[in-house]
Amino acid sequence: MAVNKKRIIQGVLLTVGIVFNIWGLLTLVQTAGYDAGISAGLTYMDGIEHVIHKYVIVVILMMIGILSLSNWAAQLSGKKRNVLSIIFCAYSTVLTIPLFLTFVLCFFVAGGVFSWDMVDVICFDMIDIFGTPGAYYTIFALGTLMGAVFLAVPIISTYCTVKDIDMLGVILTKLKIKKPAASATEEKKEEPSESPEEQKKEDSPKTED
């Protein structure tokens, strides 16, 4: 039963990963190729007014797909697990670098010191949505942080998978070490103490027969 349950979970993760990655890539093509007249058949994306909202959909779809494939690979064993984990990590990194760089470059585009068509469209769209410099610069900062996290987490998790490191176990162990060692003394306090009569019996000298 346990083996069948594991296979079902692996099958679901693999299916979800493939479907959402294909869906995400098609959505990306539909969004990025709109101005050039390139269509991936997802015409419902053309009705979304703001381009940043389209890219949010792309990020969500790709995130679900990549996480599903990474979890599926992590449940395999041996060389197959390591190779697939590294491949999916590289795939995730290649897709995330443009996201990270776009938010970084938005600072320069908004400041008028840099211009590039693809970044300009996204930057000015966010400026149009959020209006005030304080608001859209905050979004740029949060987007940059999000991109950095999306870059770091797959790399760290892949390293732990390949090296057979239980990251969750390591974190929990460190948390336990930091906890005060008062539990042992509390257990001693909770132990029932002997009654005075029992102590007297133990302290009194035993008589030989």
101-143 tens-digit pLDDT = 999 999 999 988 888 888 999 999 999 999 889 999 999 999 9
pLDDT 10s digits, 139-181 = 999 999 999 999 998 899 888 888 887 777 777 787 775 544 4
50 dihedral zone (left: phi>0; alpha: psi -120 to 50; beta): beta
Decide: 126 and 167 in contact? Cβ < 8 Å: no
> Which segments of 38-182 does DSSP mark as H helices, in order?
51-74, 78-110, 117-130, 133-162, 167-178
Kindly report whether the global pTM for this prediction surpasses the value 0.85. Answer: no
Neighbours of 23 (CB within 10 A): 18
Matching residue, tokens 């041996």: 78
Instruction: Tell me how many degrees the CA angle 94-156-100 measures, rounded to the nearest 5.
Output: 35
* Residue 181 DSSP symbol: T
Rounded average pLDDT over 77-106: 92
